[in-house]
Amino acid sequence: MKPPPKRLALLLAGISASSIAAFAAQSNPPSNEAMRRHYDAAFRLQSQGRTAEADAEHKLFLAAALERVADARANIGEYGQAAPAYEEAVQLSPGDIALHLEYAEAALDAEDPAKAKLLAEQALALLPPTASPRSDAESRAHAEYVLGRALWNTGDHKGALERYQAAAALDPSFDHIYAIGATYLTLADKPAAAKVFARMLAKFGDTAAVRMRLGRGYALAADYPEAIQEFKAALAKDDRLPGLHYSLGAATMQAESEKGYAAAEAEFRKELALNPKDTYSYPQLAHIALRRRDYQQAEIDLARADELAPGDPETALKWAQLYTETGRPAETEAALRRAIAETLNPARNHYEIQKAHYQLGRLLIQDGNLDEGKQEVAISEQLLEQNRLQDEASLSGKLVVQAPLRRTHLARPDEIAQEKRFEAQIAPAIASSYDNLGVHAAVRDDYASAAACFASAEQWNPALPGIEDKLARAASMASTAWNSSSRE
């Protein structure tokens, strides 16, 4: 086999004197100093001809930078865009335990428990067998806790309980112990949960905040009388704790249905008197007003709910109900379409959105739009079937695997703009590091790696000088080398 020409490395090696001015102009969050240190070290080492050490620093910088990018994307709800950045960061820094767990928590938010489980297990495998230093114990406890959450979301509640217990043994924090009690409630072992909660009151204090958390644990397990009892105990200690009046009102509605509406409404009003920007109380008040057919009050409450929490599909569904009951079909259709567009997870609330698809389909058919109307009815039927399968799986203890959510929530325009600014600032530095990794790979005659690095550099900064030529040359030489190897 004839070796590829060594001179290609020289043609590729136009290492640009990359600047970190844009990178340094960021708002200096805590991790920027570490990233900048790796970035500076990489260029200092390669200027000294120590390319292997420089490559290690480039990769440390890239792993940290890509983790920041992934976190920023996840924070605006774009898990579909965050996941590739997390994957790339993990490949660059496979031994980073914190990175694995950060990615796992983002996966949990995106209803991807299988991925979260894998990442948490990998994090645990990276830890030393015995957690003697305090930092190791805390890391292992956090990994056990994240793994427990992943198992719980796959329906393995007993497995989750074991992991929560392991986490609490290493780090008896409030969240770790609370997870044990809440899981006992899920497993219908109320006496065991009560013992855990009693120990929590002794350990963390019999405060309003602790009582409210215990009440929410009972409420999430549909044990509403116990939830109401805990919320009232919390109120006796502090009747101004944010969220407490709302929690009592919601539990009262669930426990007593319409009989409890008056008492629940009073609690929601008390919550708003203390916290006028509470995003949860207005939708509940609108629900009560709709049940009373007080459409004027319902419209006031829904308008305020939209103002405080735009993009909530539950509010859109209530608008659709209001418009339907007041004979406004055009507004009903618009509200139904909005509810569908804002429902990022169709499985939410037992596929409640299927009702919107069905109602929209019937409206469209009545209006003469047969094709689209039939499509919406068909979607409704598909969602009903998925709900049935999910219910059957829950009874059998199995998990219905669904695709992870590409979007976990709708971000505000200012949040999106901030994330885009961050990526624009850091992209040149990311591209520069990939560019230099590509050059160093070409010098080693590793043209496949060089081409991959140049492709990444071009992705992050298409305007990087000479990047198209470098990528084309490296790809050509990689192909030539592969073909020569195949012929041999």
And the tokens for 150? Answer: 């992943």
Answer for the pair 189, 149: CB distance below 8 angstroms, yes or no: no
- Among 314, 218, 229, 308, smallest CA distance to 272 is for 308
And the tokens for 352? Answer: 């409640």
Taking phi first (over 0 means left), then psi (-120 to 50 degrees means alpha), and beta for anything else, what does residue 98 get?
alpha
pLDDT at 22 over 50: no
| Neighbour count for residue 287 (Cβ, 10 Å) | 19
Q: Domain locations in the chain?
A: 1-76+411-488, 313-408
pLDDT at 25 over 70: no
CATH fold for domain 313-408: 1.25.40
Least confident residue range of 32-36, 272-276, 344-348, 440-444: 32-36
| Mean pLDDT computed over 450-475 | 94
- Among 139, 129, 132, smallest CA distance to 104 is for 139
Higher pLDDT, 24 or 191: 191
Distance CA 179, CA 483 (A): 57
Torsion, Cα of 427, 430, 434, 435 (10° steps): 60
pLDDT at 27 over 80: no
Which residues make Cβ contacts (< 8 Å) with residue 162, sequence separation at least 6?
A: 148
Which residues make Cβ contacts (< 8 Å) with residue 85, sequence separation at least 6?
A: 66, 67, 69, 70, 73
Answer for the pair 315, 309: CB distance below 8 angstroms, yes or no: yes
| Neighbour count for residue 282 (Cβ, 10 Å) | 23
Burial class (CB in 10 A: 0-12, 13-18, 19+), 33: exposed
And the tokens for 109? Answer: 């938010």
- pTM of the model as a whole: 0.86
Distance CA 145, CA 193 (A): 18
Higher pLDDT, 400 or 138: 138
pLDDT tens-digit readout, 411-427: 989 999 999 999 999 99
Which residues make Cβ contacts (< 8 Å) with residue 95, sequence separation at least 6?
A: 126
pLDDT tens-digit readout, 41-81: 999 999 999 999 999 999 999 999 999 999 999 999 999 99
